A and B are shown apart, each in its own frame.
Chain A
Amino acid sequence: MAGNWLLPAETTTSGRPVLRPGEVESSLQPSVDLVNEENPNLPSFKSGLLILTTYRILWLPNPDSTPSPSTSAAVAVPLGAVTHIFQSKKSIKGMFASPRVRFQVSVTTEGRVQERGSKSMVITLVFRGKSDPDSFVVKFWEAYRGRAWEGSVSASAEGVEGPAFLGDGGGSSSSDTGLALKMPVVGVSGILRKEQEMWESTDKSLQDAFQDLNALMNKAKDMVMLAEKMRQKLLSGSNSQVNATNDEEMGSKEEMQDWLLSVGIVSPVTKESAGALYHQQLSRQLADFVKTPLERAGGIMNLIDIYCLFNRARGTELISPDDLLRACSLWEKFNVPVMLKKFESGVMVIQNKSHSDEEVFSRIRSLVQKPDALQIGVSATDAARTLGIAPAMAKEHLLAAESKGMGFLCRDVSPDGFRFYINIFQDIDPNDEYLVKEYGVYDSWIRAAIASRSQSASTDDFKFCELTIVVSLPNRFLEYVGKKG
Chain B
Amino acid sequence: MQKLGELKLPPFFNYPPYFTLQPVRETREKQIQLWKELILDYCRTQKIFVVGLEEDFPLFSNPAIERSLNHEARVAFLSAIVSDGRAEWMDKGHRRCLILWHRIQDWADIILRFVKENGLEDSVMTVEEMRSGIESRGTDVHGMDRTVLMRALKLLENKGKLAIFKGTSTDDEGVKFSV
Interface residues of A (CB under 8 A from B): 377, 402-403, 405-407, 410-416, 419, 421, 423-426, 428, 430, 433-434, 436, 442, 445-446, 449
**Would A411 and B17 count as touching, CB distance under 8 A?**
yes
Q: Please list the residues of chain B having a beta carbon within 8 angstroms of any beta carbon in chain A.
A: 8, 10-12, 14-17, 19-20, 22-24, 26-27, 30-31, 33-34, 37-38, 66-67
* Residue from the set A406, A414, A425, A433 with the largest chain B CB neighbour count within 10 Å: A425
Known: A428-B34, A434-B10. A406 touches B26 (CB 8 A): yes
Measured between beta carbons, the chain B residues less than 8 angstroms from A377 are: 16-17
> Which B residues lie within 8 Å of A423 (CB)?
17, 27
18 further A-B pairs in the complex, CB-CB below 8 A; given A377-B16, A433-B10: A403-B24, A406-B27, A406-B30, A410-B20, A411-B22, A411-B23, A412-B16, A412-B19, A414-B19, A421-B17, A424-B12, A425-B22, A428-B12, A428-B34, A430-B37, A433-B34, A434-B11, A442-B12
Task: Judge whether B15 and A421 touch: CB under 8 Å.
Answer: yes
CB nearest to A432 among chain B residues: B10
Chain A residues within an 8 Å CB radius of B67: 412, 414
Question: Which single member of A411, A419, A426 contacts B30 (CB below 8 Å)?
Answer: A426
Please measure, in the bound complex, the distance between the C-alpha atom of A414 and the C-alpha atom of B16, giving whole angstroms. Answer: 9
Complex Cα spacing A406 to B24, Å: 7
Measured CA separation A412–B16 after assembly (Å): 6
CB-CB nearest in chain A for B15? A424
Residue of B nearest to A377 (CB): B16
Contact present for A410 and B27 (CB under 8 Å): yes
Q: A414's contact among B8, B11, B15, B20, by CB below 8 Å, is which?
A: B20
A430 touches B27 (CB 8 A): no
Q: How far is the CB of A188 from chain B (nearest CB, A)?
A: 74
Whether A407 touches B24, Cβ cut-off 8 Å, given contacts A414-B67, A425-B30, A433-B34, is: yes
Nearest-CB residue, chain B, relative to A414: B67
CB–CB B17/A412 < 8 A? yes
Q: Judging by beta carbons under 8 Å apart, are B16 and A430 in contact?
A: no
A-B contact pairs, 8 of them (CB 8 A): A403-B23, A406-B24, A411-B20, A414-B66, A415-B66, A425-B17, A425-B22, A449-B14
CB distance A425 to B31 under 8 Å?
A: yes
User: Would you call B20 and A413 a contact (CB within 8 A)?
Assistant: yes
